[in-house]
Structure 1
Amino acid sequence: VFRSLSITRTIFVLRVSKEKAKEHLIHQSQFQIQGRDMDLYGPMGIASINGKRYILVIVDDYSRYTWVHFLRSKDEAPAVIITFLKRITILLQSPVIIIRTNNGTEFKNQVLKIYFDSVGISHQLSSVRTPQQNGVVERQNRTLVEAARTMLIFSRAPLFLWAEAIATACFTQNHSIIHRQFNKTPYELINGRKLDISFLHVFGALCYPKNDHEDIGKLGA
């Protein structure tokens, strides 16, 4: 389904100033291209319930679909990124062509360079102290963190559930925010169909876990 989408290749010239980096469109062509913007947020002041302190955020250029991965340390980033790229290439049947990141060592290292070179991925690095050049994922970082903070405050949930709140915010946005150009959600654009989300509940709603162990009997569940 994703291969049938007509994706416009966009090349930008970046003019950098101390106040703002302005993007000027200089060329468009009708080649199918897959770009991913990545950023690592953290460390969080409180570890998650699973001991994670960093958030790896990945945004698809075309659909704005977002993936989040939670890490214990920056050192985990290269392995997580490589695994993600392999899986997403198979899942969407479309190769990733461009990766955009800042100059952090979690992205600019020999492990990722060797992998990118082996599969033909172009790694584009933003200029030092110019986060505007990686603005899409930077804004998404702030949006997810602010949404998670609001959800935790409203639900009065403990702060160590921040990872669950961010994952929920990411899922909700992928299935509800409408892309202005296409009038579809990121999920629809990347999968070609809508997903029934009637199962969603307010974050922090009361729930009862079901014990489905085989040895408790039918009435004990």
Structure 2
Amino acid sequence: MGTVRFGNDNFAAIAGYGDYIQGNITICHVYYVEGLGHNLFSVGQFCDGDLEVAFRSKTCYMRNLEGDDLLTGDRESNLYTTISISDMAASSPICLMSKATSTKSWLWHRRLSHLNFGTINDLTRLDLVDSLPKFKYGKDYLCSACERGKSKKASHLPKLVSSNHSTLEMLHMDLCGPMRVASINGKKYILVIVDDYSCFTWVYFLHTKDETPDIIKKFITQAQLNYKDKVWKICFDISTEFKNANRKAHYEKLGIMQQFLTARTPQENGVVERRNCTLVEVARMMLIFS
């Protein structure tokens, strides 16, 4: 949006009211100015947003509650004009992004698997998601699906500094399942692998536990080839799909150290257990909402 204009005359006096017809399109009950080549700002909507709008004989301005000037303009005849969004945005860190409607905010909240609104705004600000409309997203009530799906016990505080210094140096693995309801393809288990350094996650869907050793073997080969790095340590719990003689010989051949956890103590493998929790929460919330 470039130059916009404020009118100090009565808008209704210069605008038509009724049905606006353009070709095959008809818009009913609108104010319009035929041939107007500028964008208009609504003073009423600025005031509803707790912003101050003031007009003087030669200039006008819009301020926030802290007294910062967001927009300024000069008077030309009976119009206040030359308000440039691009110039103001370049010289000020203030965000001039319009606020999304409540319906649009909750629509994208659901589309992004019930992602919190702070993260959605970060994705928009940094342009990290294609086709995500550039609005300011906010919530006006608590999502019932999130309230039910994300409730959990308080967890231990995470480490402030990572013990590892490169990708694939240490991998956390865990097998989750069997699920009460199988997927469309009849799979009831998920194998979750988390890189301790980058927290990047890989998820594999399995029919049975017996598929776990072959999936891990293929994963290690592909990961080392794709990332040009070596797997040094693997951390998992004591279960037959992870701990057996064949697996031990294979890992020793590759120079990979196995790190087993204490039985019935999932807290020791908190990195992948928390990721399991996140994945299950996302699926549960989508099912609850549907």
TM-score by length of 1: 0.56
**Residues in 2 aligned to 1:65 and 1:148: alpha-carbon distance in whole angstroms:** 19
Verify: 1:46 aligned to 2:196, yes or no.
Answer: no
Q: Which residue in 1 is equivalent to 2:204?
A: 69
Matched-pair contact (CA < 8 Å) for 1:103–1:125:
yes
Distance 1:91 1:31, change over 3 A: closer
Asked if the contact 1:35–1:99 (Cα under 8 Å) also holds between the matched residues in 2, the reply is yes
Amino acid at match of 1:124: Q
Letter in 2 for 1:76: E
Question: Which residue is equivalent to 1:159?
Answer: none
- Which amino acid is the alignment partner of residue 44 of structure 1? M
What do the CA deviations read for 1:140-194 (whole angstroms, capped 9, x no partner)? Answer: 101110111112222x2xxxxxxxxxxxxxxxxxxxxxxxxxxxxxxxxxxxxxx
- Which structure has more helix as a fraction of its residues? 1
Structure 2 gaps, min length 5: 1-154
Residue 88 of structure 1 is matched in structure 2 by 223
SS in 1 for 2:191: strand
Tell me the equivalent position of 2:283.
148
Query: How far apart, in 1, do the equivalents of 2:263 and 2:198 lie?
Result: 27
State the AA in 1 paired with 2:217.
I
Q: Please report how far the alpha carbon of residue 77 of structure 1 lies from its aligned counterpart in structure 2 after TM superposition.
A: 0.3
Q: 2:254 aligns with which of 112, 116, 119?
A: 119
Decide which structure has greater strand share: 2
Residue 150 of structure 1 aligns to which amino acid in structure 2? M
Name the CA distance, whole Å, in 2 between partners of 1:31 and 1:65: 12
- Contact (CA 8 Å) 1:78, 1:111: kept in 2 or not? no
Using CA pairs below 8 Å that are at least 6 residues apart, which structure has the higher relative contact order? 1
Q: Residue 272 of structure 2 aligns with which residue?
A: 137
Q: Read off the aligned partner of 2:251 and give its amino acid letter.
A: F
Report how many aligned residue pairs link the two structures.
Answer: 135
Corresponding residue number in structure 1 for 2:240: 105
**Deviation of 1:126 (Å):** 0.4
Letter of the 1:73 counterpart: T
Structure 1 128/121 Cα, relative in aligned 2: closer, same or farther at 3 Å?
same
The structure that has the greater radius of gyration is 2
Out of 149, 159, 172, which is 1:37 matched to? 172
The answer to whether the Cα contact below 8 Å between 2:164 and 2:170 also exists between their aligned partners in 1 is no
Equivalent residues of 2:168, 2:195 under 8 A apart = no
Distance 1:82 1:110, change over 3 A: same
CA deviations 1:45-66 (Å, max 9, x no partner) are 1111111110000000011011
**CA spacing shift, 1:139–1:31, aligned 2, 3 Å:** closer
Q: Deviations over 1:57-89 (max 9, x none)?
A: 000001101110011111110000000010000
Matched to 1:129, the amino acid is R
Distance 2:187 2:269 in 1: 24
Change (3 A) 1:33 1:84: closer
Alpha-carbon distance in 1 for matches of 2:165, 2:185: 44
The RMSD of aligned alpha carbons is 2.6
Identity %: 49
How much has 1:22 moved relative to structure 2? 10
Q: How far did 1:110 drift? A: 2.1
- C-alpha separation in 1, matches of 2:182 and 2:226: 31
Which residue does the alignment assign to 2:122? none
CA, structure 1 residues 32+46, in 2 after alignment: closer, same or farther (shift >3 Å)?
closer
- Whether the 8 Å contact between 2:189 and 2:206 is mirrored in structure 1 is yes
Amino acid at match of 1:40: L
